[in-house]
């Protein structure tokens, strides 16, 4: 039997290789938190040991401190939720001075997520991140409004996406991998993906939330303070699987950090079979503080039960062409 | 290890009793040793709707009381208003049902080290945590007066046993179906002016908390209030539950009401700005 | 109190005006079936009287008979489902000869939905529809692959969308209104909407399904015969509300037939407040054969309870600017 | 009014009994006068998961039997395998629970007008509708033989009462835990060759139905089979449940197994093409 094909449970807990890589970054396990769904990590430390998961992906941080959007900032929807946080945060300086050292002290793997309003801001953020040791990767959240271009979201504009990644790439050097986080709200996702990879992204994070809205039937106005919000949770999982499958088909050599509605090991496996090298767990942590570690355990056992010799052999397995 | 959520645990709690009281359900759960970490003001986050539910977020409820008994071990009581799908599901759980809870969460009411004159003000189900608080204050030698208000009598929660811990209890309803007709905030000004109280503990609708903060502003009366903002996670990771609060540095910060609250200093909360963000936001 | 503002239940069942219009077509009620979710109408007639609802929107029909896609054609997802039917149908000639006369005989209002693979096919279909009397409106489903342009979905391409509608407009004349049905899977929905309106669409149908995928964990391949499928049901309601709100804001005078995850009167009202003049009920009928009529009743009672004098006064009410 | 779904009604049916039998649950519902329209072969579509469920589609189950009794009125029995979330939910419903059903749906087994020799072949829970069918055939004077098969004994459903209506019953399991070891299709060829049967009625996995069709091909034996395709609506409006079937005009059509089935002519179903679409599709 060829390498990478599931056998019949021949691989045991001891021989199973659960590790993954995103660019030149190595992770013991493929399950991460999702940006904005674990704050800076401290809050979840009560529920599991942060060292045990693949990495903590921190909330997207901007250059300056930021209040975010007015409340209400959330609305539950069928099997999902809308959020409109508006990137509230302490700003990159305070973040690098306080939150990152704490995580490193815990021996947690850290992926820092950054967000900006201009191409320049992203480059500035990258430069600051570069100055701190111990960070495993940089996630560049480009699903932010571009103030230099009528607030059009960077990730919805192939050209602006490329320019952001290009600026980050040039600032950060080749030391830590760049993961470009894309929005699914585009006509041609593989095109955007190809653009940011050409510009220097080592990996892609798919998917950010889907733009949605809820009307409050009492006020009869948009419920969220920010009017529209990002849809996340199990409701969007089929969109995430499709996005990952499409992009993996177009760019089979580019590692993907998958996310969107994962709330069990079987969900994580779906994303991996579609082409994800790692999986971030977001909204599921809101309903279950131990979700990340539970999903990791379930995925581990499921991969072994399916007969995969390693996590890596399952990545993109749904694309195989051979006949059974 | 972090200090945030430091007493919180996730467990399957058994429903030991579920009784209708007026428009509320009084639900008692067996939670074992976890009672030892629960303080008045803390809340619990409950998974609702069962295994295949489309409701993915927990619902927050103030812990009304905890106690330890020989027959049931540690028990926790909630007072739940059947509001929407999730709380109605909770109210429909029969004795013996298992419910997934995370508790205790959030800040607790600060307990004075010396005996003081305390006024406890509850609106609707907001009275729930106040009776447990009253017992603790009483044990510390405080004088405890209580004001409860609601739109109508069926929304007043004031259990017999609870009344033992208070020196006085006055009830206000807007429709006059129970106690005095009017709002619970009406007598407070006089009590403050007459210097009859040192600290107000409050729990109820945001409008009520805001009104009390207006009355205590500029006085020496401390106002500890338990706020209620829509929460997606209850454990500090989502940033949906924020309120503008004045920090010690004189700057306004958007604090998470789940971990920096629900009990907050009413004098610091920027009530007029709730639902907005401070000026100067990028 | 100004017209169009909800009062306090002063309007009763008798004075309440439930009617709506899409272009020059008038409907007694604003609740319709959704294309592809009521077949040709006959199947639902056992559960309610087709005359009682606003209109039956028939399954998108193509010029030739068509087998559609291989099975499995569906997968249930959290609060939603994926379908990949592939426009199975009898072809326009058989459809106009058999299905439409039956509906007209039942005194049902009929909106015919057409789908094509070329601009020319749409025009041919429109010409054939024009030759039959008694049809209230034509829904042009442009979420179909364009065989002349690498299978790129018409609705994802502003230019192709416009050309389809332009061709239909010129063929059909001004007798019955054209409703262009758009896909939400685009970067800039208002742009596509504006394009088809400029080309002659009288109204817009929003939204078609969202592209998704499910991996079957037994076969470890895409579950659907057609690999990807369209996501529908409550899961996508927030996307529908957002799409309708965005397009109504951009084109306040263009009537919108809203759809996407409506399964109760309150859901229908959400879409109407966002800007829909009518609401199609799709997937909800699969779970509840009486859904269309039940939703219609609930919406009626809810509008009255909210104090609206008419359905029309609620359309787009969430956009109002006056302070309360 | 249309003829499609013409006997179907939607109603809340009460669970009267729910009993485990081997790996299945035998669930009895009170459905009142609706029993009068139910024929062997028809199925029912059931809403699963309760009010706030994320499962939005009904689940289809063959009607195993209907009867009328003085104490319960009309009752309907289903044999349910706890397969995934929806069927497990159904199997967990206690006596007294109300369940939303749409029934009866689909085609029924054709009953011969003259007495014939009938062979009933069931795979797994596919035997469920065959016992009700056997009673009807028996009443028409038919000779009724039955073959049941499953992977293992616990998946054989063969109730005592049911056996009264059949002249013979033979059981096959692949693991030999009950009856003969082997597949239920094995003895059929001999029965056909010996002209012992006129018609086969079958219900079970698609592979079994296909194998029987291969055996009856080119013979005079009629094969009526109840197919099982994934169904989103069960009432003919979604087009998800289609199968390639040869029409009288010699052309293959993709027929809906919910309204043109589940009982179909096994000789017309294009088994080799199930899961594909015919050539020449645009
Ligand atoms: C710290 C805290 C303590 C609370 N204590 C109590 C209590 O002791 N007794 C009690 O009956 N209720 C209490 N509530 C309110 C309770 O959480 C809501 O009534 C409940 O979440 C409503 O859920 P639902 O599914 O019934 O309603 P829905 O309206 O269907 O809920 C939809 C979503 O909105 C959120 N939501 C709706 N109403 C509120 C609300 N008033 N506050 C916060 N989130 C809301 C829900 O959590 C859910 O995510 C408390 C809330 C908080 C934040
Ligand atoms: C006409 C007909 C008659 C049937 N009769 C019986 C019966 O008498 N007893 C019995 O135990 N089962 C019967 N089934 C199968 C039964 O419908 C499925 O086991 C059930 O739908 C599985 O739902 P789930 O939520 O448990 O599984 P899941 O796998 O979680 O279901 C997910 C989705 O797939 C569909 N699905 C999954 N498995 C099947 C299947 N085998 N056939 C059709 N759809 C499926 C479900 O309807 C649902 O939409 C019948 C199916 C059909 C079409
Ligand atoms: C409350 C909330 C806040 C989020 N904040 C961020 C963020 O700051 N940066 C980012 O890249 N993604 C953010 N996301 C998106 C998630 O990281 C993730 O891409 C998305 O929620 C889909 O995954 P899920 O369904 O598992 O939550 C946020 C999501 C939620 C629900
Ligand atoms: C099984 C199925 C078939 C559909 N077929 C069509 C179709 O033929 N033409 C079309 O325009 N839309 C079709 N749709 C899309 C629906 O009309 C509708 O736009 C979409 O499902 C969203 O509404 P809903 O969530 O209420 O189903 C189909 C949807 C489903 C679920
Ligand atoms: S509820 Fe999530 S941070 Fe407070
Ligand atoms: S299940 Fe919908 S058409 Fe058969």
Weakest-pLDDT range from B26-30, C1-5, C167-171: C1-5
Centroid of ligand 3 to alpha carbon of B58 (angstroms): 18
Q: Name the residue at shortest CA distance from atom 20 of ligand 2.
A: D59
Mean pLDDT of B158-187: 92
Ranges of chain A with pLDDT below 50: 1-5, 7-11, 324
- Residue A180, pLDDT score: 98
Euclidean distance between CA atoms B226 and B117, whole angstroms: 19
Residue D86 backbone phi and psi in degrees, to 5: -70, -50
**When comparing pLDDT for B36 and C12, which is higher?**
B36
Residues B206 and B216: beta-carbon distance below 8 Å? no
Considering the candidates C34, C92, C144, C259, report the single residue annotated as catalytic.
C144
Searching chain D, which residue's CA lies closest to the CA of residue C287?
Answer: D57
Most B-contacting residue of C78, C233, C264, C283 (CB-CB within 10 A), to test interface: C78
Q: Residues A172-182: pLDDT tens digits?
A: 988 899 999 99
Euclidean distance between CA atoms B57 and D194, whole angstroms: 65
Residues C256 and C20: beta-carbon distance below 8 Å? no
| Nearest chain C Cα distance for residue B147, angstroms | 32
> A246: domain CATH number?
3.20.20.70
Q: Residues D128-183: pLDDT tens digits?
A: 999 999 999 999 999 999 999 999 999 999 988 878 889 999 999 999 999 999 99
- Sign of the CA dihedral running B257, B260, B266, B268: negative
Q: Which of B45, B54, B56, B87 to probe ligand 1 with, by most ligand atoms within 8 A of CB?
A: B87
Q: Note the residue count of chain C.
A: 324
Residues B14 and B97: beta-carbon distance below 8 Å? yes
Q: Cα angle vertex A210, ends A207, A214, to 5°?
A: 155
- Residue A323, pLDDT score: 59
For B280, left (φ over 0), alpha (ψ -120 to 50), or beta? left
Searching chain A, which residue's CA lies closest to the CA of residue D55?
Answer: A79
Euclidean distance between CA atoms B175 and B236, whole angstroms: 38
Centroid of ligand 3 to alpha carbon of B238 (angstroms): 9
Q: Residues B135-153: pLDDT tens digits?
A: 999 999 999 999 999 999 9
**In chain A, what residues touch C226 (CB-CB under 8 Å)?**
none
pLDDT in tens, chain D (282 residues): 457 899 999 999 999 999 999 999 999 999 999 999 999 999 999 999 998 999 999 999 999 999 998 888 999 999 999 999 999 999 999 999 999 999 999 999 999 999 999 999 999 999 999 999 999 999 999 999 999 999 999 999 998 887 888 999 999 999 999 999 999 999 999 999 999 999 999 999 999 999 999 999 999 999 999 999 999 999 999 999 999 999 988 999 999 999 999 999 999 999 999 988 887 654
For B187, left (φ over 0), alpha (ψ -120 to 50), or beta? alpha
DSSP states of D52-83 as a string? Answer: TBS--S-EEEE--EEEEETTTEEEEEEEE---
What's the gap between Cα B98 and its chain centre? 24
Kindly list the partner chains of chain D, i.e. chains with 3 or more CB atom pairs below 8 Å: A, B, C
Pocket of ligand 4, beta carbon within 6 A: C 34-37, 59-60, 83, 85, 87, 113, 141, 181, 208-209, 230, 232-233, 236, 259-262, 281-284; D 238
Which residues of A belong to the active site? 144
Bridging pattern class, strands A31-33 and A25-27 = unpaired
Q: Which of B5, B8, B256 to probe ligand 5 with, by most ligand atoms within 8 A of CB?
A: B256
Centroid of ligand 2 to alpha carbon of C71 (angstroms): 15
User: Which residues share a beta bridge with B245?
Assistant: B253, B269
Other Cβ atoms less than 10 A from the Cβ of B267: the count is 17
Contacts of B249 (CB under 8 A, 6+ apart): none
Statement: residue C10 has pLDDT above 80: no
Residue D248 backbone phi and psi in degrees, to 5: -65, -25
- Residue B72, pLDDT score: 83
- Residue at C170 is within a domain: yes
- Residue A13, pLDDT score: 52
Q: Note the residue count of chain D.
A: 282
Euclidean distance between CA atoms B26 and B47, whole angstroms: 17
Contacts of B221 (CB under 8 A, 6+ apart): B192, B197, B198, B199, B200
- As given in the structure block, the two tokens for residue A155 are 């990730």
Instruction: Give the 3-state secondary structure percentages of chain B, helix then strand then coil, rounded to 5.
Output: 20, 35, 45
Q: Cα angle vertex B222, ends B220, B228, to 5°?
A: 145
Contacts of A323 (CB under 8 A, 6+ apart): none
| Nearest chain D Cα distance for residue B52, angstroms | 6
- Ligand nearest C154 Cα, by number? 4
Residues D266 and D216: beta-carbon distance below 8 Å? yes
| Nearest chain C Cα distance for residue D134, angstroms | 30
Weakest-pLDDT range from A310-324, B90-104, C236-250, D214-228: A310-324
- Ligand nearest C37 Cα, by number? 4
- Residue at C200 is within a domain: yes
Which secondary structure element, helix H or strand E, spans residue C296, and what is its range? helix C291-305
Burial B136-148 (b: 16+ CB within 10 A, else e): bbbeeebbbbbbb
What part of D 30-59 touches A (C-beta under 8 Å)? 54
Closest by Cα among C25, C26, B102, C8 to C17: C26
Q: What is the DSSP letter of B110?
A: P
Searching chain C, which residue's CA lies closest to the CA of residue D235?
Answer: C43
Burial A157-179 (b: 16+ CB within 10 A, else e): bbebbbbbbbbbbebbeeebbbb
pTM: 0.96
Burial A92-110 (b: 16+ CB within 10 A, else e): beebbeebbebbeebebbb
Euclidean distance between CA atoms C207 and C55, whole angstroms: 18
Which residue in the block uniquely carries the two structure tokens 């709100």?
A: C245
Statement: residue C249 has pLDDT above 60: yes
Residues B175 and B151: beta-carbon distance below 8 Å? yes
Euclidean distance between CA atoms D257 and A294, whole angstroms: 40
Q: What is the DSSP letter of C97?
A: I
Statement: residue C14 has pLDDT above 80: no
Mean pLDDT over all residues of chain C? 94
Residue D139 burial by CB count (10 A; 0-12/13-18/19+): exposed, middle or buried? exposed
- Residue at C195 is within a domain: yes
Residue D108 backbone phi and psi in degrees, to 5: -115, 165
Question: From the alpha carbon of D231, which atom of ligand 6 is closest?
Answer: 1
Kindly list the partner chains of chain C, i.e. chains with 3 or more CB atom pairs below 8 Å: A, B, D
Distances (CA, A) of B33 to A27, B63, B66, B131: 37, 15, 11, 21
Burial D140-174 (b: 16+ CB within 10 A, else e): eebbbbbbbbbbeeebbbbbeebeebbeebebbbe
Q: Please tell me if residue D273 touches chain C, with a CB cutoff of 8 Å.
A: no
Euclidean distance between CA atoms A202 and B24, whole angstroms: 56
Other Cβ atoms less than 10 A from the Cβ of B154: the count is 14
- Residue at A91 is within a domain: yes
Question: From the alpha carbon of C115, which atom of ligand 4 is closest?
Answer: 9
- Domains in chain B with CATH codes: 3-105 (2.40.30.10), 120-220 (3.40.50.80), 227-282 (no CATH)
Euclidean distance between CA atoms A44 and A39, whole angstroms: 9
- Residue at A270 is within a domain: yes
- Residues of chain D that touch chain B, judged by Cβ-Cβ distance less than 8 Å: 49-55, 85, 89
Q: Name the residue at shortest CA distance from atom 40 of ligand 1.
A: B230
- Residue A14, pLDDT score: 63
**In chain A, what residues touch D275 (CB-CB under 8 Å)?**
none
Confidence of residue C4 (pLDDT cuts 50, 70, 90): very low
Distances (CA, A) of A168 to A178, A180, A181: 8, 10, 13
Other Cβ atoms less than 10 A from the Cβ of C74: the count is 27
| Nearest chain A Cα distance for residue D52, angstroms | 9
Domain range for C171 is: 20-323
Q: Name the residue at shortest CA distance from atom 38 of ligand 1.
A: B230
DSSP states of C157-181 as a string? Answer: -HHHHHHHHHHHHHHHTTSS-EEEE
Strand, helix or coil for residue C323: coil
Centroid of ligand 5 to alpha carbon of B255 (angstroms): 10
Q: Note the ipTM here.
A: 0.96
**In chain B, what residues touch D94 (CB-CB under 8 Å)?**
none
For A200, left (φ over 0), alpha (ψ -120 to 50), or beta? left
Confidence of residue C139 (pLDDT cuts 50, 70, 90): very high
- As given in the structure block, the two tokens for residue B194 are 């007459």
Closest by Cα among D241, D205, D220, D24 to D121: D205
Euclidean distance between CA atoms D6 and C46, whole angstroms: 6
- Residue at A61 is within a domain: yes
Q: Do A270 and C217 lie within an 8 Å CB cutoff?
A: yes
Q: How many domains does chain A have?
A: 1
- Residue at C9 is within a domain: no
- Ligand nearest A263 Cα, by number? 3
Most B-contacting residue of A33, A39, A92 (CB-CB within 10 A), to test interface: A39
Q: B11 CB under 6 A from ligand 5?
A: no
Contacts of A253 (CB under 8 A, 6+ apart): none
Q: Residues A267-279: pLDDT tens digits?
A: 999 999 999 999 9
Q: Which of B233, B245, B263 to probe ligand 5 with, by most ligand atoms within 8 A of CB?
A: B233
Question: Considering just the CA atoms, what is the radius of gyration of chain D in Å?
Answer: 18
- Ligand nearest A283 Cα, by number? 3
Question: From the alpha carbon of D257, which atom of ligand 6 is closest?
Answer: 4
**Which of A79, A186, A266 faces C187 most closely, judged by CB atoms?**
A186
Centroid of ligand 1 to alpha carbon of B76 (angstroms): 18
Euclidean distance between CA atoms C237 and B216, whole angstroms: 45
Question: Considering just the CA atoms, what is the radius of gyration of chain B in Å?
Answer: 18
**In chain C, what residues touch D102 (CB-CB under 8 Å)?**
289
Q: B258 CB under 6 A from ligand 5?
A: yes
Euclidean distance between CA atoms C154 and C146, whole angstroms: 6
What's the gap between Cα B278 and its chain centre? 26
What's the gap between Cα D49 and its chain centre? 23
- Residue at C314 is within a domain: yes
């Amino acid at each position: 039997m060829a390498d990478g094909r599931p056998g019949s449970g021949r691989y045991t807990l001891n021989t199973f290789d659960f590790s993954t890589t995103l660019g030149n970054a190595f992770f013991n396990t493929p399950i991460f938190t999702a940006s904005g769904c674990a704050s800076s990590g401290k809050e979840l430390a009560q529920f599991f040991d942060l060292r045990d998961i693949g990495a903590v992906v921190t909330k997207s941080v901007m250059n300056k401190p930021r209040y975010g959007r007015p409340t209400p900032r959330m609305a539950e929807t069928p099997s999902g939720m809308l959020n409109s946080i508006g990137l509230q945060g302490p700003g990159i300086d305070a973040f690098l001075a306080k939150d990152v050292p704490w995580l490193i002290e815990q021996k947690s793997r850290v992926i820092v997520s950054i967000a900006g309003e201009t191409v320049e801001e992203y480059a500035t953020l990258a430069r600051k991140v570069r100055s701190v040791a111990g960070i495993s990767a940089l996630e560049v959240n480009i699903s932010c409004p571009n103030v230099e271009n009528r607030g059009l979201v960077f990730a919805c504009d192939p050209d602006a996406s490329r320019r952001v990644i290009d600026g980050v790439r040039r600032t950060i050097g080749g030391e830590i991998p760049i993961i470009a986080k894309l929005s699914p709200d585009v006509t041609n996702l593989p095109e955007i993906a190809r653009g940011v990879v050409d510009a220097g992204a080592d990996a892609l994070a798919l998917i950010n939330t889907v733009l949605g809205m809820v009307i409050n039937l009492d006020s009869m106005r948009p419920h969220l303070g920010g009017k529209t919000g990002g849809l996340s949770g199990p409701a969007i999982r089929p969109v995430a699987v499709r996005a990952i499958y499409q992009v993996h088909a177009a760019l089979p050599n580019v590692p993907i950090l998958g996310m969107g509605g994962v709330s069990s090991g079987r969900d994580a496996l779906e994303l991996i079979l579609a082409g994800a090298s790692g999986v971030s767990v977001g909204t599921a942590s809101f309903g279950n503080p131990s979700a990340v570690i539970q999903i990791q355990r379930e995925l581990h056992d499921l991969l072994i039960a399916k007969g995969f010799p390693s996590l890596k052999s399952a990545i993109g397995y749904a694309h195989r062409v051979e006949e059974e | 290890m972090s200090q945030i959520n430091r007493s919180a645990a996730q467990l399957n709690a058994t429903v030991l009793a579920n009784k209708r009281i007026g428009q509320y359900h009084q639900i008692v759960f067996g939670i074992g040793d976890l009672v030892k970490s629960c303080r008045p003001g803390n809340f619990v986050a409950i998974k609702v709707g069962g295994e295949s539910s489309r409701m993915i977020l927990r619902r927050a409820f103030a812990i009304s009381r905890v106690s330890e008994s020989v027959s049931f071990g540690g028990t926790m009581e909630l007072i739940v208003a059947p509001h929407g799908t999730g709380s109605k599901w909770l109210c429909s759980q029969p004795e013996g049902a298992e419910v997934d809870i995370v508790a205790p969460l959030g800040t607790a009411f600060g307990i004075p080290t010396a005996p003081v004159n305390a006024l406890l003000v509850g609106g609707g189900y907001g009275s729930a945590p106040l009776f447990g608080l009253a017992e603790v204050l009483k044990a510390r030698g405080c004088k405890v007066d209580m004001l409860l208000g609601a739109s109508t009598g069926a929304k007043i929660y004031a259990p017999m046993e609870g009344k033992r811990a208070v020196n006085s209890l006055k009830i206000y309803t807007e429709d006059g179906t129970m106690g005095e007709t009017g709002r619970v905030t009406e007598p407070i000004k006089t009590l403050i002016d007459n210097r009859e109280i040192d600290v107000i503990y409050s729990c109820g609708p945001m409008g009520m908390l805001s009104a009390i903060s207006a009355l205590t502003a500029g006085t020496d009366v401390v106002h500890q209030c338990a706020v209620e903002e829509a929460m997606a996670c209850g454990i500090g990771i989502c940033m949906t539950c924020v309120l503008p609060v004045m920090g010690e540095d004189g700057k306004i910060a958007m604090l998470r009401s789940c971990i920096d609250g629900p009990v907050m200093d009413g004098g610091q909360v920027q009530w007029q700005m709730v639902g907005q963000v401070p000026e100067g936001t990028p």
